[in-house]
Chains A and B, each alone.
Chain A
């Protein structure tokens, strides 16, 4: 049984300017006895999520909507346990997989095959498990002999195919996806769509952040709207097609 619960979660995000990141300014703060502290020591804190609570159980599929910068990616990363909230509690039970940024964990110098193993390991597989995914990925990506070439020679569409195939090759209980469609040719879009469908039906909890209301309508039963870090549930009527 999978479960994902947020209890009054607040996430604050420090934005370090080049000034804040530099040791010189930290030293200056000490040596000037705080005289310029007001300026040099100021670290912008962004409250990305404010007092967010919800509880997801088996069978929930959630669509996340909101403007750019509303906190969708931060929410997904907090769900995944990458960001730790400053207050509140995140309870996560069940195996979890994330599909966030394209190209995460790939090494451009290594071949497609080597990257399959590499990413598989990063996703928590054993080398044998990762190797067993190869036939499936060969078939899905249709990259053929290109898989023997270094990833740096790939076009962005090809990298995307490999990345998507890899990310969707596991069967997690909780699946978190950040907007990642839009690249790839139409044939690939179609294949990706089918694969997504089967993945969603096999995972127990599914959270999908997207600007495509059409996809959200198709994949998700419940819709969460994020506005300036606060979350509320809205009905499907909030989606315009």
Chain B
């Protein structure tokens, strides 16, 4: 047998096979989204509506509490909440990905990465529903649309490509160590407060450098700043690209060695 290297390891092959089936993953992600709202009248529109209600309530409450200008605060909060939802549900739902799909994994020969991929695509579908709320807020409060707004597209790409490796690596460890699911579930609410969701890093006078040490800050800002018509600082891109490269390298290394074990773990 040929010596398996990093680039032709079983993990890489699995990822390639999964990407060939991206249509299946997309279809399943969409049918999962529909299944979740199966018996409701509004269906997946609840995603949009739920965000709208949250933004309206929190926007009013926090702008009163923090005594800040609503026209700048509410758009920033809306964008922050939308991105946070994606991050939080990725962190909490990733760990049981393989375990929940165990009856598929143990019965059909399918590439493993298909399942995390499906989860990420579902997050993207949610994001597409939620972003409507931001557009409405942006129109109502006249958020400036500049040429920097276009940077939203690479921003979203960086966010989701990073989420993909995060989802995969958490899913692998979550299948082996069942505690990870609960650990993350208890950490995520805490992360909400140490990540700049309600506030912007620039609001903090002294501890702004500390907030930039939180990797989630970069993932939030890389999308939020351009949404608000401002280019994020260069180090946001540096951090996102750095995380992307290092994250994928580590994930693939783990996946290469562990991918054959997953069927036994679930």
Report chain A residues within 8 Å CB of B13: none
User: Is there an interface contact between B35 and A107, defined as CB atoms closer than 8 Å?
Assistant: yes
Report chain B residues within 8 Å CB of A150: 38
Any A CB within 8 A of the CB of B161: no
Any A CB within 8 A of the CB of B153: no
Contact for B27 among A26, A104, A121, CB less than 8 A: A121
Q: Is the interface of B mostly helix, strand, loop or mixed?
A: helix
User: Is there an interface contact between A82 and B263, defined as CB atoms closer than 8 Å?
Assistant: yes
Contact for A22 among B106, B109, B177, B263, CB less than 8 A: B177
How does the 8 Å CB contact mask read for A70-103 relative to B, with 1 for contact and 0 for none?
0000000100111110000000000010101101
Q: Which residue of B lies closest to A99 (CB)?
A: B107
Any B CB within 8 A of the CB of A13: yes
User: Is there an interface contact between A104 and B104, defined as CB atoms closer than 8 Å?
Assistant: yes
Interface stretch among B178-186, B218-226, B240-248?
A: B178-186
Known A16-B265, A83-B264; contact A123-B177, beta-carbon cutoff 8 A: no
Which A100-142 residues have a C-beta within 8 angstroms of B? 100-101, 103-105, 107, 109-110, 114, 117-118, 121-123, 126-127
Any A CB within 8 A of the CB of B239: no
CB distance from B108 to the nearest CB of A (A): 6
Known A13-B264, A21-B177, A23-B183; contact A105-B104, beta-carbon cutoff 8 A: yes
Report chain B residues within 8 Å CB of A14: 261, 264
Q: Which residue of A lies closest to B103 (CB)?
A: A104
Chain B interface residue count, CB cutoff 8 Å, equals 28
Report chain B residues within 8 Å CB of A121: 24, 27-28
User: Is there an interface contact between B107 and A98, defined as CB atoms closer than 8 Å?
Assistant: yes
Report chain A residues within 8 Å CB of B265: 16
Report chain A residues within 8 Å CB of B103: 101, 103-105
User: Is there an interface contact between A82 and B105, defined as CB atoms closer than 8 Å?
Assistant: yes
Q: Which residue of B lies closest to A26 (CB)?
A: B177
Contact for A122 among B32, B104, B264, CB less than 8 A: B104
Known A101-B103, A118-B28; contact A82-B180, beta-carbon cutoff 8 A: no
A117–B30 CA distance with the chains assembled, in angstroms? 13
Report chain B residues within 8 Å CB of A123: 108
Known A24-B179, A121-B27, A121-B28; contact A105-B107, beta-carbon cutoff 8 A: yes
Which B162-218 residues have a C-beta within 8 angstroms of A? 176-180, 183
User: Is there an interface contact between B264 and A22, defined as CB atoms closer than 8 Å?
Assistant: no
Report chain B residues within 8 Å CB of A13: 264
Known A22-B177, A23-B183; contact A105-B27, beta-carbon cutoff 8 A: no
A175–B107 CA distance with the chains assembled, in angstroms? 13
A110–B183 CA distance with the chains assembled, in angstroms? 31
How does the 8 Å CB contact mask read for B5-25 relative to A, with 1 for contact and 0 for none?
000000000000000000110
User: Is there an interface contact between A80 and B178, defined as CB atoms closer than 8 Å?
Assistant: no
Known A83-B263, A150-B38; contact A22-B107, beta-carbon cutoff 8 A: no
Q: Which residue of B lies closest to A123 (CB)?
A: B108
Which B134-179 residues have a C-beta within 8 angstroms of A? 176-179
The CB with the most chain B CB atoms within 10 A, among A14, A77, A101, A109, is that of A109
Contact for B106 among A23, A100, A109, CB less than 8 A: A100
Report chain B residues within 8 Å CB of A81: 109
How does the 8 Å CB contact mask read for B223-266 relative to A, with 1 for contact and 0 for none?
00000000000000000000000000000000000001101110
| 10 examples of A-B residue contacts, CB within 8 angstroms | A14-B264, A21-B176, A24-B179, A80-B108, A84-B263, A96-B109, A101-B103, A104-B106, A104-B107, A110-B31
* A-B contacts besides A121-B28, A123-B108, 5 pairs, CB < 8 Å: A21-B177, A83-B263, A104-B108, A105-B107, A122-B104
